Amino acid sequence: MSIASELYDAISHDLRESGLLARGGFSTRESDQAPDLRDGRAARTVIMVGNAGPSMWQAFSRKQPTDPDPLDRWSHAILERVAAQHDADVAMPSDGPPFAPFQRWAMRAEPVFPSPLGLLIHPTWGLWHGYRGALLFPMVIEVPRHEATESLCDHCENQPCLSACPVDAFQRNDYRVDACVAHLETPEGQICMTSGCRARHACPVGQSAFPGADQAGFHMRAFVSGRSS
Ligand code: B12
């Protein structure tokens, strides 16, 4: 095993106690629009950090932070700590506008594809996963390779995600955010608020990766109150 993959493994290991996952990475090219590091060096490798399954929520809830944007701040602190150990810098998905193109980076890092909802679909976790940040490195690091595959959505005949929303907020290539939020503020919308987006639940892939009502409710409340994710 090369030193470079040992570094990737060390980062995965450092993240694990916080329930976060190293989710692949890539060597940058101009079109990635990766920002420079704070000290001006160019980012040569990006490693994505994210969450899937219950582990992040378990670690986060143990801390019970009460500050505003608690999950973003908690994630940021963890990423900064890991970055400091490995001569890296941090990019956060919610920093902006302009936002860093996290979904495009994610597609470079692992086999995820745009679903009809706009969210990326993962072959195991379906629509139940997210990105908490990215680590930017000034050197080239060997990262896990992923085979070229195709999106599971290409073989999904009925695309139930597109018809599950009670107010048809998701149309192909269009997400009517105002209709979604207006519904979430009604009594009928409380089922989506407390147990997660119906359209995401309708996807047959990764149903067992649903993180649980606590976490889903947290994200929905954050989305409605700040229109953030
Ligand atoms: C602004 C934003 C929103 C806006 C607008 C989304 C939109 N219509 O584009 C609002 C506030 C509505 C939103 C909502 C949500 N979002 Co949002 N959002 C973002 C954010 C911060 C910036 C997007 C952007 O402009 N990027 C800039 C462009 C240049 O980057 P890009 O990667 O090339 O752009 C891609 C996206 O715009 C995407 N896209 C196009 N249409 C849509 C529609 C939707 C619904 C989404 C999510 C993406 C999307 O296609 C582009 C090409 O790949 C990203 C984080 C980030 N930095 O990317 C999260 C992000 C896209 N959101 C995310 C999530 C999870 C959500 C929510 C599901 C949150 C929740 N409740 O749990 C909700 C959706 C509501 C629901 N029903 O549940 C995740 C998606 C993860 C994934 N599996 O793909 C991201 C990556 C954040 C994260 N921390 O992981 N979001």
Query: Do 129 and 156 belong to one domain?
Result: no
Residue 1 contacts by C-beta under 8 Å, 6 or more apart in sequence? none
Q: Is residue 143 part of a domain?
A: no
Q: What percent of the chain has pLDDT over 90?
A: 89
Confidence of residue 216 (pLDDT cuts 50, 70, 90): very high
Domain count, the chain: 2
Q: Is 223 in the pocket of ligand 1 (CB under 6 A)?
A: yes
C-beta separation of 110 from 146 below 8 A? yes
Asked whether residue 132 falls in the same domain as residue 22, the answer is yes
Q: Are residues 17 and 98 in the same domain?
A: yes
Please report, for residues 164, 171, 202, 227, the alpha-carbon distance to residue 186 in angstroms, rounded to integers and kept in the order given.
17, 21, 21, 16
Q: Which of 22-26, 67-71, 75-79, 184-188 has the lowest mean pLDDT?
A: 67-71
Its domain, for residue 74, covers 3-137
104 and 163 belong to one structural domain? no
Checking if the pLDDT of 63 tops 90, the result is no
Question: Does ligand 1 have an atom closer than 6 angstroms to the CB of 101?
Answer: yes
Q: Which of 207, 189, 197, 199 is nearest to 159 (CA)?
A: 199
Q: Is residue 114 included in any domain, yes or no?
A: yes
pLDDT above 50: residue 1? no
Report, as an integer, the average pLDDT of 173-192.
Answer: 95
Q: Is the C-beta atom of 114 inside 6 A of ligand 1? A: yes
31 and 70 fall within a common domain: yes
Residue 145 lies in a domain: no
Asked if residue 9 and residue 76 are part of one domain, the reply reads yes
Are residues 161 and 133 part of one domain?
A: no
Q: Residue 175 domain-assigned?
A: yes
Same domain, 84 and 173: no
User: Is residue 144 assigned to a domain?
Assistant: no
Boundary residue ending a domain (137, 170, 205): 137
User: Within a domain: residue 142?
Assistant: no
116 and 168 co-located in one domain: no
Is position 129 within any domain? yes
Residue-wise pLDDT tens digits, 82-115: 999 999 999 999 999 999 999 999 999 999 999 9
Q: What is the residue with the minimal CA distance to atom 40 of ligand 1?
A: 118
- pLDDT recorded at residue 2: 46
pLDDT of residue 7: 95
Cα–Cα distance for residue pair 192/160, rounded to 1 Å? 16
Q: Does pTM surpass 0.85?
A: yes
At 108-146, the pLDDT tens digits run: 999 999 999 999 999 999 999 999 999 999 999 999 998
